[in-house]
């Protein structure tokens, strides 16, 4: 009996997560329909884009494309989640410091890394680890640590299946189906808090995100994100569908040739919860954390292009609009070494790629950016935590600490894109 491919397990889990979140947050279902309709309209009016997506294999993945986000409380939880995602062929890519933007976490993105797996199912989970050392109140920090250390976020059956997959090199069909069902429980919403109303209030005063991480039995999925081909149209259409979007779209401005990532969301739900009490009578309360998000992905920028983008972003945050300095033309971006492209077509003799492109023998298609932007992620977090952006925590990023908790170094996204581009060129050059 053969093992179920990791890509298939990931696709099943992504679909199950999406269905669960649709039941928990009905507005998410409305958002999916809006995005699907918008994508169909874009492809109908842009045959060149539709042809390019078919050529690169992206058409098949678009409708089911999702990313989610979770927040973990301890190093042990991060290491365990890494093992769970590995069963689905997902690895930690990139390090993101959000503490500098006033959010007390640092993060990575678990995702598939090779092109075939991305096209099969590009499910990603932006995974943040709470930095309790940033909590100034030492007594509250110790109490939060004790609460987190006592919880178990993965069911015993899911843990047994993770260990089985690690031991045997995979899961057979029955085990894979059980794994999807059991791991889903880790991310399910539970309205019953595990802390008293008083403790919750103290955690909330420290930071809303800290209260969200510490006060519940596990890392409930706090948003799921479909991919749109026109985020401006979706943002404009949200109110007509009963969805209240955040005021601005995070990321680069609208361009003819999209780069990196643009994101928007509908505002977080105000949900009823209950707190335990010494008397045994549940105490009612409210909690705000879960929301819906939508994203538009553009081309992955090379180190040179990303350095320019970061410079222009800094200028924009200082009140200068200089984004027109980043070329808005596919061929210019490619020739100037600003962005990654995948090459396809006839064989190229002696490596003369430019001549072959000019002759129409090969085509250069943008490689889609599969990762995240720390400033945009912080903006989404802040707008949905129901509070104004705070100043930085005054600490340095600590990738070494994060990787020690993770149990492995994070992968460099640039190296992954370089490999995809390089393999496409190698396949053409003789």
- pLDDT, one tens digit per residue, over 138-164 is 898 899 999 999 999 999 999 999 999
Taking the mean position of all CA atoms in its chain, how far away is CA 284? 32
- Going by pLDDT thresholds of 50, 70 and 90, the confidence category of residue 316 is confident
Q: What is the pLDDT of residues 95-142, one digit of tens each?
A: 998 887 778 899 999 999 998 999 999 999 999 999 988 888 889 889
Confidence of residue 386 (pLDDT cuts 50, 70, 90): low
Look at residue 167 and tell me whether its pLDDT is greater than 50.
Answer: yes
Question: Mean pLDDT throughout 29-39?
Answer: 92
How confident is the model at residue 388, as a pLDDT? 44
SS3 assignment, position 279? coil
Residues 6+ apart with CB under 8 A from 43: 49, 50, 53, 229
Region of residue 319 (phi > 0: left; psi between -120 and 50: alpha; otherwise: beta): left
pLDDT averaged over every residue in the chain: 89
**Portion of the chain with pLDDT greater than 70, in percent:** 93
Residue 399 phi/psi, 5° resolution?
A: -65, -35
SS3 227: strand
pLDDT in tens, 338-377: 999 999 887 776 668 888 888 888 999 999 999 998 766 5
- pTM given for the model: 0.91
Buried b (16+ CB within 10 A) or exposed e, 403-429: bebbeeebbebbebbbebbeebbeebe
pLDDT per residue as tens digits for the range 205-257: 888 889 999 999 999 998 889 999 999 999 999 999 888 888 889 889 999 99
CA proximity to 123, closest of 36, 248, 221 = 221
Q: Sorting pLDDT into bands at 50, 70 and 90, what band is 389?
A: very low
Task: Kindly state the average pLDDT of the residues 159-170.
Answer: 97
pLDDT for position 59: 85
Fold of 6-266+292-300+372-413: 2,3-Dihydroxybiphenyl 1,2-Dioxygenase; domain 1 (3.10.180)
What is the spatial distance between Cα 337 and Cα 38, in angstroms, rounded to a whole number?
Answer: 32
Structural tokens at position 266: 């509908």
- Compute the distance between CA of residue 404 and CA of residue 400 in angstroms, rounded to an integer: 6
Instruction: Please provide the distance, in angstroms rounded to a whole number, between the alpha carbons at the two ends of the chain.
Output: 40
Instruction: Report helix, strand and coil shares of the chain as percent, to nearest 5.
Output: 50, 20, 30
> d(Cα 106, Cα 78) in Å, to the nearest integer?
11
Domain boundaries, the chain: 6-266+292-300+372-413
Average pLDDT on 196-208 reads 90
Task: Please give the average per-residue pLDDT across 171-176, as a whole number.
Answer: 96
């Amino acid at each position: 009996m053969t093992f179920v491919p990791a890509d298939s397990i990931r696709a099943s889990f992504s679909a199950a997560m999406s269905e669960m979140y649709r039941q928990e947050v009905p507005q998410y279902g409305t958002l999916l329909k809006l995005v699907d309709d918008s994508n169909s309209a874009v492809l109908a009016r842009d045959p060149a884009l539709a042809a390019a997506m078919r050529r690169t294999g992206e058409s098949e993945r678009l409708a089911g494309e999702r990313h989610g986000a979770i927040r973990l409380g301890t190093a042990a939880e991060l290491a365990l989640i890494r093992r769970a995602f590995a069963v689905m062929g997902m690895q930690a890519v990139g390090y993101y410091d959000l503490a500098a933007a006033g959010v007390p976490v640092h993060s990575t993105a678990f995702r598939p890394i090779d092109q075939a797996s991305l096209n099969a199912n590009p499910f990603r989970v932006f995974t943040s680890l709470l930095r309790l050392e940033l909590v100034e109140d030492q007594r509250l920090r110790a109490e939060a640590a004790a609460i987190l250390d006592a919880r178990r976020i993965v069911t015993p059956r899911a843990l047994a299946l993770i260990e089985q997959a690690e031991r045997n090199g995979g899961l057979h069909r029955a085990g894979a189906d059980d794994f999807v069902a059991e791991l889903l429980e880790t991310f399910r919403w539970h309205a019953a808090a595990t802390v008293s109303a008083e403790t919750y209030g103290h955690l909330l005063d420290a930071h809303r995100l800290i209260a969200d991480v510490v006060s519940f039995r596990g890392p409930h999925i706090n948003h799921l994100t479909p991919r749109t081909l026109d985020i401006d149209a979706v943002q404009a259409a949200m109110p007509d569908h009963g969805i209240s979007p955040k005021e601005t779209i995070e990321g680069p401005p609208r361009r003819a040739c999209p780069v990196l990532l643009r994101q928007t969301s509908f505002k977080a739900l105000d949900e009823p919860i209950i707190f335990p009490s010494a008397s045994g009578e549940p105490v009612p309360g409210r909690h705000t954390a879960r929301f819906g998000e939508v994203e538009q992905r553009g081309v992955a920028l090379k180190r040179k292009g990303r350095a320019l983008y970061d410079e222009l972003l800094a200028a924009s945050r200082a009140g200068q609009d200089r984004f027109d300095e980043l070329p808005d033309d596919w061929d210019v971006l490619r020739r100037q070494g600003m962005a990654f492209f995948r090459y396809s077509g006839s064989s190229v003799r002696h490596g003369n790629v430019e001549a072959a492109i000019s002759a129409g023998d090969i085509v250069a298609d943008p490689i889609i950016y599969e990762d995240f932007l720390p400033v945009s992620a912080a903006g989404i977090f802040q707008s949905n935590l129901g509070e104004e952006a705070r100043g930085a925590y005054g600490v340095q990023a600590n990738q070494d600490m994060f990787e020690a908790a993770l149990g492995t170094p994070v992968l460099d996204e640039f190296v992954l894109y370089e490999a995809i581009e390089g393999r496409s060129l190698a396949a053409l050059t003789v």
